């Protein structure tokens, strides 16, 4: 790697923003054409779903960037050797590749890294548009016919702030040379953004789920809303969501420390049910990739401890997900049953892709599938959690109205606003 490269060089930032805006413009124009006869809240819902889909794609491509060892394909940020693309940085990349043909900087890896940055900038620009449009719609809705389906800009504002923080962690990922802690936090940030967008999409769905509007909203059977769940089931959904997030964190730590191949057999590890493991150094902050907190190289025992912890936790999380899935399929009302099917399918997907990573030697396709499954699980559980509170919150939220008539007086309705990012 060329250590003379400036770690932070903002000279190409405006050109990168223009590329991101151009990438966002295509999907936005397509959406506007497709939704040309829809109301503003329906368009905002469609734009939120589009952002959700592209964020999911970005998470998977980010995993590909890391797994193909392209994370330092451009050793500076946000451009590549101060250029907006690897084309302008061709002499520097050629020199680095000549010095280290199998090193972190090659032409191919530089393009993978920059495409990831272009896509991230495009998602960021999409969220800028969503935030601005939400604020404009909220102001115009006051006293108009749109007031029956109020639009809160708080969630889109939170998403915009979140993606800006994600950009900062993206910079740290490069400047701190793929520090495992930073890379894991960057993964969690992407998963968190996905969950935020899933919640927003469900809140729009609940707000528009009236007899008059349902006919204009195809595809709501994918993630139905609202979903009437008992208080116990709602707590179970939240508990499983938190368990999945913990498991994603452990999985990110396995991947960023390259501990997947510490165990290449199953159900045993290294031919033993309890191999030699070093937990002392397994979960400490590392100064650099491959080093312990005191600067020594990570041992196989440390990597084994990281791997086995994730493996054992997977059994508990899998059991919890399946228990929740069957509870939704058996005891909840009809709109909850598709979520049970999602959880059963994704549980099987994660089990198959996780085992494939171990017994097949960590193939790229299985690793990407495992990351995609984890992201989808968080999105589905977050969507279910948002949908499950919609019926109870519909009478008091400016963001969750389901079109039913409140059972209490309007004055009391106005006196109890729902907790949104603006009021939180």
Residue positions annotated with a catalytic role = 113
* CA 74-78-81 angle, 5° bins: 45
Handedness of CA 100, 103, 104, 110 (dihedral sign): positive
Backbone angles phi, psi at 11, to 5 degrees: -60, -35
Q: How many angstroms separate the Cα of 338 from the Cα of each of 33, 36, 232, 328? A: 30, 30, 19, 9
CA–CA separation, 256 and 128 (whole Å): 30
Q: Could you give the CA distance from residue 30 to residue 26 in angstroms, rounded to a whole number?
A: 6
Q: What is the rounded CA–CA span in Å between residue 412 and residue 395?
A: 10
CA 158-163-169 angle, 5° bins: 130
Longest dimension (CA), the chain: 75
* d(C-alpha 9, C-alpha 272), whole Å: 50
Phi, psi of 2 (to 5 degrees): -80, 105
Residue keyed to tokens 């920059």: 114
Torsion angle defined by CA atoms of residues 125, 130, 131 and 137, in that order, rounded to the nearest 10 degrees: 150
Residue with tokens 């740290």, as numbered in its chain: 172
- The residue behind tokens 């946000």 is 78
Tokens of 338: 């598709």
Task: Output the six-digit token pair for 27.
Answer: 């999907």
Report the C-alpha gap between 194 and 202 in whole angstroms: 12
3-class secondary structure, 346 = helix
Measured between alpha carbons, how far is 167 from 424 in angstroms, rounded to an integer?
Answer: 24
């Amino acid at each position: 790697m060329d250590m003379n490269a400036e770690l932070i060089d903002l000279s190409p930032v405006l050109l990168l923003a223009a590329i991101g805006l151009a990438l966002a413009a295509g999907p936005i124009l397509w959406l506007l054409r497709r939704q040309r006869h829809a109301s503003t809240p329906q368009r905002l819902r469609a734009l939120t779903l589009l952002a959700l889909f592209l964020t999911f794609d970005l998470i998977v491509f980010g995993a590909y960037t890391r797994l193909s060892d392209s994370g330092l394909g451009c050793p500076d940020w946000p451009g590549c050797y101060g250029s907006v693309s690897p084309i302008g940085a061709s002499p520097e990349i050629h020199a680095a590749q000549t010095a280290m043909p199998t090193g972190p900087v090659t032409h191919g890896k530089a393009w993978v890294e920059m495409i990831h940055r272009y896509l991230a900038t495009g998602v960021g620009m999409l969220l800028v548009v969503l935030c601005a449009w939400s604020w404009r719609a909220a102001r115009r809705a006051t006293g108009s016919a749109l007031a029956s389906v109020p639009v809160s800009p708080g969630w889109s504002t939170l998403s915009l702030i979140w993606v800006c923080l994600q950009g900062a962690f993206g910079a740290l990922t490069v400047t701190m040379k793929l520090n495992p802690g930073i890379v894991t936090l960057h993964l969690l940030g992407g998963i968190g953004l996905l969950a935020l967008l899933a919640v927003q999409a469900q809140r729009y769905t609940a707000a528009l789920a009236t007899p008059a509007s349902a006919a204009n909203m195809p595809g709501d059977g994918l993630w139905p809303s609202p979903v009437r769940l008992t208080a116990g089931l709602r707590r179970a959904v939240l508990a499983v969501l938190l368990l999945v997030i913990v498991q994603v964190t452990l999985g990110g730590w396995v991947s960023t420390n390259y501990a997947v191949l510490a165990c290449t057999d199953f159900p045993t590890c290294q031919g033993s049910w309890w191999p030699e493991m070093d937990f002392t150094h397994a979960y400490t902050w590392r100064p650099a990739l491959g080093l312990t907190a005191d600067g020594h190289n990570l041992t196989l025992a440390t990597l084994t401890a990281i791997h086995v912890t994730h493996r054992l936790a997977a059994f508990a999380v899998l059991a919890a997900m399946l228990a929740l899935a069957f509870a939704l399929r058996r005891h909840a009302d009809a709109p909850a049953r598709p979520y049970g099917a999602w959880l059963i399918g994704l549980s099987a997907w994660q089990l198959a892709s996780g085992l494939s990573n171990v017994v097949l030697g960590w193939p790229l396709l299985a690793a990407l599938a495992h990351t995609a499954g984890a992201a989808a699980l968080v999105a589905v559980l977050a969507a279910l959690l948002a949908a499950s509170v919609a019926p109870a919150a519909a009478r008091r939220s400016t963001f969750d109205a389901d079109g039913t008539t409140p059972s209490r007086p309007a004055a009391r309705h106005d006196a109890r606003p729902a907790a949104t990012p603006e009021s939180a």
